[in-house]
Amino acid sequence: MNGVLTLLKPRLWSFLNGNVARDREPRNIKWLLFGGIGFLFWAGIFTVFYRVLRYFQGVEGFGDILAYKLLSMVLITFFALLIFSSIITALSKFYLSRDLVLVHALPVSPAQIFLARWIESTIDSTWMVVVYSLPIFLSYGIVYRGGILFYATILGALLPFCLIGSALSAIAVVLVARFLPAGRIRTVFVFLSLVLFVILLIAFRMMRPEQLTNPDTFASVLLYFRSLETPGSPWLPSTWIYDSLREVLSGNRSGALFHLALLWSGAAALGYLMTWIAGAAYFQGFSKAQTTAERLLPSRQGRGAAGAWLLGFPSGPTRAFAVKEIKTFTRDQTQWPQIFLMIALIVVYLYNFSVLPLDKSPIKTFYLQNLFSFLNMGLAAFVLTALSARFIFPAVSTEGVAFWIVRASPVSIRSFLWVKFWVYFLPLAILAEFLIVATNLLLQVTDLMMILSTATVLLMVPGIVAMGVGLGAAYPDFQSENPAQAVTSFGGLLFMILCAGFIGFIVILETGPVYSVFMASLNGRGLALLQWVWLAISFALVILLSVLAVVLPMRLGERRLKALA
């Protein structure tokens, strides 16, 4: 056990050393900001659940069933999240971390390394699920007056629940890594889970939940409620934790204790099984992970059609960076599932517009269509922000340890950043316009709205891209093993907040004048002089804001990146 504790020390010391780092002050600000946002989420979850449970309590006869069904669904979701996050974390911790070669050269057994890594992985993959499950349990405790025993049961049940999730994932990872190189498993696993997620998402959309508001379908809803009372599978650990909480809430202490015992014995048995399997298969899997996986697609010699087109770029350095950016992006297999997910989300996004029940609304369809089109500008811009957060914000960080090449090359940091800007601006602008035009066509909006929304989005896209590139350059992380995670950093958060503010301002600035123009044309009237002035000022401000959103972040990024030297 001493060996395991020693192996955990570097992690603990690194964490403690973070508090005595030179840049302590900015760190404190970051912690405060993250802590504040985290607490807001926490409080939000508590409020929502508290209100929902209070509401359920008021439903005669049905309320408790709904509340327990909700708890059961929440626990199944948590379990699925635990498994998913544990698999991803365990893969990195067991097979892909950079320090593993050094650790395996130390005079400790693979079993000790495995155990130390599993403890780290369990903490990393479960702490967030635990923290955000607490407000839900707290709301149940308050609404159902759970008492001390309820909270003690939660604490006693959450630990084995997390251990079971983490142990199951570790077993799966160790077994699969025995046959497949670990680098390939991550891609395959992420890809498969995203396929599953997309299928569920599309299936859910195809069920058209908006029909639940239609009284004609109530017969099926009643059938649905009848199915609520069906108990969960007895083999699922989420059922054991659910049963222990349900028993303690209904005052059956011995029943709660029995299910708690099931959880603990399940965790102990799985822990034993895991160490046995790891002893037999972990090191072989680690050895396999050292070999480079073969490429899925062989390289083509020379330049393809896209390359030939790129040859037309005006300058060598621009061409060099653009070609490099496109090739490294498309060859990184970890990007593929995310692109696939993006396409699926866009399909669902467009499908949502095609099934909007506009004709059943009490508000005039003509008015509603144009209102949706207007709001859609903001919505599409938020979709673009999410994409930028994932793909554009980490673009500078993805240079990684090879950033010396940029610094040593005869190209200014400014040019380097502008190449990044253009490489991402073009596809994003095309995607944005496609989204806007397609949804406008589905909504059959007026020509005025079509022109206004396409022009506004075209103004917003450069700002979003520049904020992604600029702030990504201002807060780079060249050492990260996974640059895509840069978006969860302080800079990433700042990017999302600024983007939301930018989009919000543009939409607010346009709302008033567009409404007056729209109403004037609807009523066949002209605009008053004051309205013309208002319109001109608003649109001038929109243009000014869009220009500032491009210039300022790019300058900030350039300055901060230069100052790194």
Partner 1 sequence: MIELTDLTKRYGKTLAVDRLNLSVAPGEIFGFIGPNGAGKTTTIRMMGGTLSPTAGAVVIDGIDMAARPEEAKRRIGFIPDRPFLYEKLTGMEFMRFSADLYGVGDGTFLQKAEELLRTFGLFDWSHDLIEAYSHGMKQRLVISAALLHNPRVIVVDEPMVGLDPAAIKMVKDILKDLARRGTAVFMSTHTLSVAEDLCDRIGIIHRGALIALGTTRELKRLAQAQQADLEEVFLKLTEEQTLS
Applying CB under 8 A, the residues found at the interface with partner 1 are 22, 292, 295, 299, 301, 311, 316-317, 319-321, 323-324, 327-328, 331-332, 400-402, 404-405, 407-412, 562, 565
Closest CB to partner 1 among residues 213, 299: 299
Q: What 3-state DSSP class applies to 456?
A: helix
Dist. CA 90–CA 180, nearest whole Å: 15
Q: How far is the CB of 410 from partner 1 (least distance, A)?
A: 4
Q: How far is the CB of 404 from partner 1 (least distance, A)?
A: 6
Closest CB to partner 1 among residues 255, 317: 317
Closest CB to partner 1 among residues 254, 299: 299
Would you say 487 and 387 are in contact if contact means Cβ atoms under 8 Å apart?
no
Dist. CA 260–CA 157, nearest whole Å: 6
Closest CB to partner 1 among residues 37, 402: 402
Closest CB to partner 1 among residues 323, 431: 323
- Contacts of residue 394, defined as CB under 8 A and 6 or more positions apart, other chains included, come to 472, 483, 484, 485, 486, 487
Q: How far is the CB of 378 from partner 1 (least distance, A)?
A: 36
Amino acid identity of residue 319, one-letter, is R
Amino acid identity of residue 206, one-letter, is M
Q: What is the dihedral of CA 442, 445, 450, 454, to 10 degrees?
A: -50
Largest interatomic CA distance in the chain:
86
Neighbours of 380 (CB within 10 A): 25
Neighbours of 106 (CB within 10 A): 12
Closest CB to partner 1 among residues 187, 446: 187
Amino acid identity of residue 201, one-letter, is L
Q: How far is the CB of 538 from partner 1 (least distance, A)?
A: 42
Q: How far is the CB of 474 from partner 1 (least distance, A)?
A: 17
Dist. CA 39–CA 35, nearest whole Å: 6
- What the block records as the tokens of 525 is 């009237």
Would you say 514 and 452 are in contact if contact means Cβ atoms under 8 Å apart?
yes
Amino acid identity of residue 123, one-letter, is I
Q: How far is the CB of 494 from partner 1 (least distance, A)?
A: 26
- Nearest Cα to Cα of residue 470 among 510, 507, 424: 424
Closest CB to partner 1 among residues 147, 316: 316
- What the block records as the tokens of 305 is 């059609």
Q: How far is the CB of 324 from partner 1 (least distance, A)?
A: 5
Q: How far is the CB of 334 from partner 1 (least distance, A)?
A: 11
DSSP state of 232: P
Closest CB to partner 1 among residues 405, 536: 405
Q: How far is the CB of 544 from partner 1 (least distance, A)?
A: 32
Would you say 123 and 96 are in contact if contact means Cβ atoms under 8 Å apart?
no
Dist. CA 360–CA 214, nearest whole Å: 10
Q: How far is the CB of 22 from partner 1 (least distance, A)?
A: 7
Chain center to CA of 134: 21
Closest CB to partner 1 among residues 190, 499: 190
Q: Which residue matches tokens 């807060």? A: 475
Chain center to CA of 239: 27
Q: How far is the CB of 202 from partner 1 (least distance, A)?
A: 31
Closest CB to partner 1 among residues 227, 292: 292
Closest CB to partner 1 among residues 64, 332: 332
- What the block records as the tokens of 215 is 């009284």
Q: Is 385 exposed, middle or buried (0-12, 13-18, 19+ CB in 10 A)?
A: buried
DSSP state of 208: -
Dist. CA 142–CA 300, nearest whole Å: 64
Dist. CA 163–CA 273, nearest whole Å: 13
- Contacts of residue 532, defined as CB under 8 A and 6 or more positions apart, other chains included, come to none
Closest CB to partner 1 among residues 243, 558: 558
Amino acid identity of residue 453, one-letter, is S
Q: How far is the CB of 415 from partner 1 (least distance, A)?
A: 9
**Which helix (H) or strand (E) covers residue 368, if one does?**
helix 365-391
Closest CB to partner 1 among residues 99, 359: 99
Would you say 549 and 502 are in contact if contact means Cβ atoms under 8 Å apart?
yes
- Cα angle 163, 167, 173 (rounded to 5 degrees) comes to 150
Closest CB to partner 1 among residues 227, 301: 301
Q: How far is the CB of 306 from partner 1 (least distance, A)?
A: 13
Q: How far is the CB of 89 from partner 1 (least distance, A)?
A: 23
